[in-house]
Amino acid sequence: MNINIRTPGAARKWQWPSADCSRIPNWVYSDRELYERELERIFYGPFWSFIGLECEVPNPGDYMRARVGERSVLMTRDADGGVNVVLNSCAHRAAEVCQKKTGNSKELMCPYHQWVYDMKGNLLGVPFRRGVKGKGGFPADFDLKNHGLRKLKVETVNGAVFATFDENALPLRQYLGDQIYDRLLRVLDGRKLTLLGHHRQLIHANWKLYPENMKDSYHATLLHVFLISFGLYRIDQKGELLQDERTHAHNVVSSIRNDVRDVNGTEEMRSLRQNFVLNDMRPLATVKEYPDDVTIQIVTMFPALTLQQQNNLLQFRNVIPVGPDKFELSWTYFGYETDDAEMTQRRVRLANLVGAAGLISIDDTEVFEFSRAGMEPNPDGDCVVELGGRGIEPPVAGDMVSEGPIRGFYDFYRRIMFDEP
Amino acid sequence: METMAKCRPETIDTPVAPELKARVEDLYARYAECICDDAIEQWPDFFTDECLYQIIPRANRDRGLPIAIMLAESRGGLIDRMTAIRNTMVFAPRSVLLTFSGIRITQRAGGILHTRSSFTVCQTLVDEVSSLLMVGRSFDRIDISQADWKFAERVAVYDSELLPATVIYPV
């Protein structure tokens, strides 16, 4: 008997199923080797990661643990008032130097052999440098200057701290392009930021699903029925999709609320249930806060950061990869120093909509796990991404249901990962 | 910090009558049954009309940061949450098991009992082994001025640094 065993997966390894990005192969969400390359080329490459808020390390000696890719880093405030991001791995035996989530210290000391660093990561001293009673010790040419903690390149944008392992990464304005950077500045507008809280979730799905979802305006009105069911959002809200024209990988989705009585466009939403009325409206009470009328602005920054303004609710949503099949979603909620108690309360109440128990966010998080469950055992299948065409050109003005930004993400991704032109 | 002080064990001056303690424990048992039995339509009835319900990460609570993952300030708000769970949220079906232990009355102030307790939430998804969703401590206030005892405040402070995916049901 002639048994012909076909192993299509192996034969077409990393072969994109289409010339354009109207197809996304399922293996892109599960392949371990590809994931290792993503860490090297993307998370440790010339791209920026979100670290935290400057106000989380207000005083000299303050530090906070954060992550870039799978690497633990420390955000610190040095004696000169500067913000630094250093690798949380001792230059000696690679142990994590700092285990506490946050704290204040004159210096950073590795608990293993007590190598001591200043808050900028410079090595200040090592025990037994001259040995014991004149015997042993480090070689005479051992130079402390050569053995500091690895320093990341840091840039702050009005209180938000970003870092990259690659010295050659473009400054953030150039990195994002003027159009997207200006939308970042619309929220990070120069007022001093204040931290309102964090929380973190571990999601069993590939990290790319998150930024894709944030760029996907198609799902929002179909999946998220909470706001619509309670009469608080309409599908034909006026909105815009922007993308950085060089990379197609940084985007803005924004919209302006219409008259809530206008229900055109909801006929195709099978999941729509109407006529619920909130008993307590306080969680959704908002006030106009910015000069324009934009009620929702979602800025996605390649690779994996989202800054979302939803009325008065302001959050960074940072995606941190944990293997090909898991990611951490880390939420940082903030306000401005100028906020009064009422405004803070408004932001805190609105937080009910998002996060691990978010009336809206739950839908997304759950669907990511459905995606993983469907993709992982079917690596040879392809996703079909044709809404709004097959190209990566920005969507036509006024078109709020397009998968163009997802195609744009993969166009950039393929150039980075597979050296495509 | 003020919030830290709230978390410290407090002593109650007078000994607690066994009947009082038994009735409080019964309230927690019935509350847990409501969640475990998937009878969340009754869940808001465990609270007074004006109330505070919060599930908050320990890291925020300890630092005096106000962000909670679930917040309601009235029974109406709890009804809204329940309505959303039943009608609008998209999530994988699951059962949850909520258990309380170490329930202790820490203070009695007029018609209000202050309690604290530990809690554990396990969940079971289709085709999956049961897993731990959350562990934490609760700092509650029970209104005992009426015939029906109700929660005036229920603050669930969870330890878990990383929550596995989502928190659908109340704790």
The CATH number given to whatever domain includes residue A127 is: 2.102.10.10
Range of the domain at B23: 2-158
Assess whether A124 and A240 both reside in one domain. no
The per-residue pLDDT for A268 is: 56
Per-residue confidence (pLDDT) for residue B2, from 0 to 100: 37
Q: Is residue A41 part of a domain?
A: no
Put simply, the answer to whether B168 touches A357 (Cβ < 8 Å) is: yes
A240: enclosing H helix or E strand: strand A238-243
Q: Is residue B103 part of a domain?
A: yes
User: Which residues in chain A have Cβ-Cβ distances shorter than 8 Å to B65?
Assistant: 195-198
- The parts of chain A modelled with pLDDT lower than 70 are 1-2, 4-12, 231-237, 258-274, 398
If asked whether residues A256 and A390 sit together in one domain, one would say: yes
Do A185 and A145 lie in a common domain?
no
Nearest to B77 among A271, A283, A351 (CB): A283
Same domain, A189 and A149: no
Of the residues A114, A140, A155, the one at which a domain ends: A155
Q: Which residues contact A367 (CB under 8 A, 6 or more apart)?
A: A213, A219, A223, B90
Of the pLDDT bands very low, low, confident and very high (cuts 50, 70, 90), residue B78 is very high
Put simply, whether B11 touches A (Cβ < 8 Å) is no
Q: Looking at the DSSP assignment, which residues form a beta bridge with residue A320?
A: A328
Contacts of B85 in chain A (CB under 8 A): none
Chain A positions in Cβ-Cβ contact with residue B156 (cut-off 8 Å): none
Closest CA relative to residue A89, chosen from A119, A110, A75:
A110
| Residue B98 resides in a domain | yes
Same structural domain for residues A151 and A191? Answer: no
How far is Cα A352 from Cα B80, in angstroms, rounded to an integer? 11
Question: Which of B80, B91, B162 is the closest to A201 by Cβ?
Answer: B162
pLDDT at site B4? 43
Nearest 10 degrees: Cα torsion A298, B93, A328, A23: -60
Closest CA to A51 of A310, A249, A338, A301: A301
- For chain B, what is the domain count? 1
pLDDT at residue number A4: 64
> Bridge-partner residues for A65, per DSSP?
A74
Q: Is residue B128 part of a domain?
A: yes
CA distances from B100 to A215, A380, B26, B110 (A): 41, 47, 11, 25
Quick one: A205 and A306 in the same domain? yes
Partner-chain contact B77 A356, CB within 8 Å: no
Residue among B81, B161, B167 whose CB faces A356 most closely: B167
Residue in chain B lying closest to A226 (CA): B88
What sign has the CA pseudo-torsion B23, B29, B31, B33? negative
Residues A300 and A373 in one domain: yes
Cβ–Cβ below 8 Å for A280 and B73: yes
Task: Identify whether A329 is part of a domain.
Answer: yes
B36 belongs to a structural domain: yes
> Per this entry, what is the length of chain B?
171
What pLDDT sits at residue A7?
Answer: 55
Are B66 and A280 an interchain contact pair (Cβ–Cβ within 8 Å)? no
Domain membership flag for residue A5: no
pLDDT in tens, B122-169: 999 999 999 999 999 999 999 999 999 999 999 999 999 999 989 999
How much is the pLDDT for A256? Answer: 82
Q: Averaged over B83-110, what is the pLDDT?
A: 94
pTM: 0.92
Q: Same structural domain for residues A196 and A147?
A: no
Which phi and psi angles does A192 have, rounded to 5°? Answer: -70, 135
Give pLDDT, residue A235.
57
A-chain residues near B41 (CB < 8 A):
none
Q: How big is the A-B interface in CB pairs under 8 Å?
A: 124
Which tokens is A368 given?
């990511």
Distance of CA A95 to the CA centre of its chain: 26
pLDDT at A286: 87
Instruction: From A289, A281, A307, A280, select the one nearest A343 (Cα to Cα).
Output: A289
Q: Do A60 and A186 share a domain, yes or no?
A: no
- Domain count for chain A: 2
Query: Which of B59, B71, B168 faces A348 most closely, judged by CB atoms?
Result: B71
**Is residue B164 situated within a structural domain?**
no
B45 belongs to a structural domain = yes
**According to the model, what pLDDT value does residue B94 have?**
97
Q: Is pLDDT at B6 greater than 60 in this prediction?
A: no
Structural domain includes residue B163: no
Structure tokens at A191: 């007022």
The CATH number assigned to the domain holding B74 equals 3.10.450.50
pLDDT for residue B12:
58
Domain-located, residue A11 = no
Q: Confirm whether A10 is domain-assigned.
A: no
- Supply the CATH number for residue A236's domain: 3.90.380.10
In this prediction, residue A266 carries a pLDDT of 53
The tens digit of pLDDT for each residue in A314-371 reads: 999 999 999 999 999 999 999 999 999 999 999 999 999 999 999 999 988 999 999 9
CA distance A329 to chain B (A): 9
Domain range for residue A233? 181-418
| Minimum-distance CB partner of B70 among A101, A226, A357 | A357
Residue B84: its chain A contacts at CB < 8 A?
226, 359
Q: What is the pLDDT of residue B134?
A: 97
In a domain, A174, yes or no: no
Query: Domain for residue B90, yes or no?
Result: yes
